[in-house]
Amino acid sequence: MDDRSKYTQGGYEKFRKAVFAMSKPVLDKRFNENRNEWIVITKNILFNQKGQKTFSKPPTKEEEIILKIRGGFNEIALSYDSMTEIPLYLKKYPQKLIWKSKFLEFVIVNYLNEVYILSERLEAYTKKIIRLYKKHPDIAKVEKEILTFDKLFKDLFNSHNNNLRGEHVHVRRFEDDDLNRLVYLEVLYHNGNNPNDKFVNSEYKKAIAFNKK
């Protein structure tokens, strides 16, 4: 079996369940031992009230490790969920939208931004796990597994290097030939005074459909 199979969607779900199963007993114990504080904290957060929003008792060493593993995974999960939800926005444009190319560009840039954030969080998480396990007797096995995963996701993200670099996402505008063609057709379409209107209209609609894929 290809080693990459364990890092697919099924592997992600398996790891998520393992993280939650590992952390639940430890976190439940912490909450139960500080139940009164937990009620106050929950109330303050839910109703946006001033007051205590963290436990006064610092976490034990075990709890601290579990919180780092769980917290790091939660950040990755948030980025992954955001990235997978963004394409859903393309299924229906806002009703009052005139320049569809602007909406497409907005969605694409946000998608690339989320992919970039995900790649950064994955890299930080693998380093964090290695640091946490550095004194563990199975560190060699853990490190080998993590380095295999690390190489896999870096190869994947580097294959889209031009779109994922931070300077591309945050400094200069996103550029794409197909999107640029859509912008050009959109200008002609809204101008309405072109002798090739039927052709322009047809190509414009085709370009919208193509860029939504």
* pLDDT score, position 77: 92
Is 75 a residue whose pLDDT tops 90?
A: yes
Domain extent, residue 188, equals 176-213
140 and 194 together in one domain: no
138 and 209 together in one domain: no
Higher pLDDT, 145 or 51: 51
Looking at residues 147-175, what average pLDDT do you find?
Answer: 63
Higher pLDDT, 36 or 197: 36
95 and 118 together in one domain: yes
120 and 196 together in one domain: no
Number of H helices, E strands in the chain: 9, 0
135 and 190 together in one domain: no
> Rounded distance, CA 24 to CA 63, Å?
11
> Rounded distance, CA 213 to CA 207, Å?
10
* pLDDT score, position 45: 93
Q: How confident is the model at residue 55 (pLDDT cuts 50, 70, 90)?
A: very high
> Rounded distance, CA 38 to CA 159, Å?
46
35 and 107 together in one domain: yes
Is 23 a residue whose pLDDT tops 90?
A: yes
pTM: 0.70
Percent residues over pLDDT 90 in the chain: 29
168 and 186 together in one domain: no
112 and 148 together in one domain: yes
* pLDDT score, position 1: 40
In the predicted model, what is the mean pLDDT of the chain?
79
157 and 189 together in one domain: no
User: Which residues have C-beta within 8 Å of that of residue 34, sequence separation ≥ 6?
Assistant: 55, 57
106 and 189 together in one domain: no
Looking at residues 152-177, what average pLDDT do you find?
Answer: 60
Of 56-70, 158-172, 195-209, the poorest mean pLDDT is in: 158-172
Percent residues over pLDDT 70 in the chain: 76
> Rounded distance, CA 44 to CA 51, Å?
6
* pLDDT score, position 13: 86
80 and 144 together in one domain: yes
Number of domains in the chain: 2
* pLDDT score, position 193: 59
Any idea of the CA torsion for 85, 11, 5, 78, to the nearest 10 degrees? 30
115 and 93 together in one domain: yes
> Rounded distance, CA 76 to CA 92, Å?
27
* pLDDT score, position 171: 47
